[in-house]
Amino acid sequence: MEWVRGETIGHGTFSTVSLATPTNNAYGAFPQVMAVKSADSHGAASLANEKWVLDILGNDCDGLVRCLGEDRTVENGEEMHNLFLEYASRGSLASHLKKLNGEGLPESTVRRHTGSVLRGLRHIHAKGFAHCDLKLGNILLFGDGAVKIADFGLAKRAGEVTALMDGGVQIRGTPLYMAPESVNDNEYGSEADVWALGCAVVEMFSGKTAWSFKEGSHFMSLLIRIGVGDELPRIPEDLSEQGRDFLSKCFVKDPKKRWTAEMLLNHPFVAVDLDQDDLEGVDIQLKTEEVFASPRCPFEFSSWVSASCDSGTQYHTLEAPEERVATLAAGSIPDWSVTNNWVTVR
């Protein structure tokens, strides 16, 4: 494929991401706009790892960004490694949240995004991998409302332990999302992804990181809080009881007792399908008495009632019309995909 590099849309530790347009797109084999992740020799290993993992994971899971191929180019005398990915036109959840100036997303949106990320995680874990760098910057928003996990540069086979000669802490990903077992024993398995998901859910909902951490303080103090003692990440008080219960299953210090992505997909926090297409005339009223007590082990799942929908009751927490217009005026992209609060204008 011949292609032209467009504007830069993102920077990472290992790479630069820009738009790419194919110039000889015979038979429409490629989308008209793609994202191309490019790295010089320093980032080549991470990019090669990402391609290897994405090839094994395949393109059949809706929760993962799709890989469209790879290429090498020489630009300004330097060899560049390029990985083509489907383009997420709404950017990452991190950049989306930044536009909300410290505010979080409505809980209904957080539930939907969490469900999508969990489906991606379940697929990654079922294939025997751990992502190892789940964070809002690596969760992408697509124009059609899809939410997908990206950036597999640090992903590895679950159970593969990287031995450290000096016995120190190996930081894979972002300290703020690190699980206790990663801090204490350098373990980065599927369980650590679930801990990181909990941190991402807190941040999506509250607009603030799950660990309060003063800018400028040494990250070792944070690692000590994560790894030693009983302190857990902050669970927002204004989150629903189901949301808080969901987080309590992610923030279990012992990785063996932490819930898996598969188990969490059956938790009522995400098991209710709030997709726009499902809203009309469907009963979404949760049978709270029945689902309130969450299962303590996988065998109790069968007694849960899948929530059903009713267009009247669940959406009253969304913003009023005035607030929604204000969000628009502020230049951020509002999420109105789930609401029954529309005003008829004639």
The secondary structure of residue 259, as a DSSP letter, is P
Site for ligand ATP in 66-105 (CB under 6 A): 85, 87-88, 91-92, 95
User: Position 24: which residue type?
Assistant: N
Is 9 among the residues that bind ligand ATP (CB under 6 A)? yes
Residue number with CB closer to ligand ATP (54 or 286): 54
What is the helix (H) or strand (E) element at residue 233, kind and residue range?
A: none
Least distance from ligand ATP to the Cβ atom of residue 50, Å: 7
Marked catalytic residue, from 40, 71, 133, 275:
133
Binding-site string for ligand ATP from residue 143 to residue 182, where x marks contact by CB under 6 A and - marks none? -------xx-x-----------------------------
Residue 37 assigned to a binding site: yes
Residue 12 in contact with ligand ATP, rule: CB under 6 A: yes
Which C-beta is closer to ligand ATP: that of 140 or that of 307?
A: 140
14 near ligand ATP (CB under 6 A) = yes
Through-space distance between the first and last CA atoms of the chain, rounded to whole angstroms: 50
60 is catalytic: no
Kindly state the DSSP code that residue 284 receives in the 8-state scheme.
B
Question: Two tokens at 300?
Answer: 């109790």
Which among 68, 63, 61 is positioned nearest to 28, based on CA atoms?
Answer: 68
Kindly state the tokens that stand for 181: 């077992």
- CB 268 → ligand ATP: shortest distance, Å? 31
Sign of CA dihedral 91, 94, 99, 104: positive
Q: Number of residues in contact with ligand ATP, rule: CB under 6 A?
A: 23
Q: DSSP label at 99? A: T
Q: How far apart are CA 39 and CA 33, in angstroms?
A: 19
Contacts of 206 (CB under 8 A, 6+ apart): 104, 234, 236
Binding to ligand ATP (CB under 6 A) within 30-59 occurs at 35, 37
Interacting residue ranges for ligand ATP, rule: CB under 6 A: 9-10, 12-15, 17, 35, 37, 65, 85, 87-88, 91-92, 95, 133, 137-138, 140, 150-151, 153
Binding positions for ATP: 37
Q: Which residues are catalytic?
A: 133
